[in-house]
Amino acid sequence: MSSTSTAVRADCAADRAGTLTFDLTAPAPAPDSVLLLRRRGAAGRKPGGTIRIPLSRPAPGRLRAVLPASAELAEGRWDAYVEKPGDEPAETVVEPGLRDLRALVDRCPDTSAVTVSARVPYPTLDGRLAVRSWVRAPHAEAGTVLAGPAGMTVRGVLYGVEAGEGAAVEARLPGEPDRVHRVPLTAPDPGGPAGSFTFTLPYAAPATGPVPEAQQWQLWLIPATGAPGVRISRILDDVWSRDKSFVYPGHPAAPGVRATPCYTTGNDLCLRLEPVPADH
């Protein structure tokens, strides 16, 4: 498949339901072109790894592609191209223009929804347009994160499942199944939203084991005794990657160990432990 060097610019808008509208500007794509979304990585070469969206002409000099909220978009990062049909289809890179994502801020879906999805258009580091998609069933949405001196307190909302007897949160260290620390969920605030939860994770418990290098402890909500865990993340707004934009203070967790709440590039909530020099 060949590729052209001239990029097309696209303005993006989102509504609260999750529909994305792309308005393409000059240079105008050839007739019968489509907006192509390709899932990044090996998944893009598998069935369902590409989505083609037809272009309409809402005004002279502009073409529009609409990705409805009902369209399936698997979790991951999707790069945008304009595909010109032919015996050897040509792809044109799409660059980000204006992005109106105000409708995505503080979304509150129905807590009974089995599946929660979110889509955020964003500029890549090399200046292309991409869409970050999440599909979670069920989902635990992190809200306020308080990095206290002895532990982190998190408030959030649980979607698609109700918290029951034995509900708890587990801090898990990937690759070491024996290193798991559990704390109970606090009774929800009677004035809070349906599905609300709160928990406090002391830093000292995960830090009792060796911390020879930085560790990223994943946080999972266990809705009830014996239930599968639900990854705690924050996806219901317009931030496509929180690891650099949401920064919390670190505190001593044990002698020579610092604990810091943090998010991954995929917006999953974690607790980072790292060794610090003795003089810090």
pLDDT of residue 215: 97
The stretches in the chain having pLDDT less than 50 are 1-5
Calpha distance 51→71 (Å, rounded)? 9
pTM summary value: 0.90
Q: How many residues does the chain have?
A: 280
Q: Contact, 195 vs 157, CB < 8 A?
A: yes
Q: What is the pLDDT of residues 47-63, one digit of tens each?
A: 889 999 999 888 777 78
Contacts of 189 (CB under 8 A, 6+ apart): 196, 198
CA-based nearest residue to 104, from 16, 20, 234, 13:
16
Calpha distance 252→259 (Å, rounded)? 6
**φ/ψ (deg, to 5) at 136:** -125, 135
pLDDT of residue 152: 98
Calpha distance 137→182 (Å, rounded)? 22
Q: What is the pLDDT of residues 135-190, one digit of tens each?
A: 999 999 999 999 999 999 999 999 999 999 999 999 999 999 999 999 999 866 66
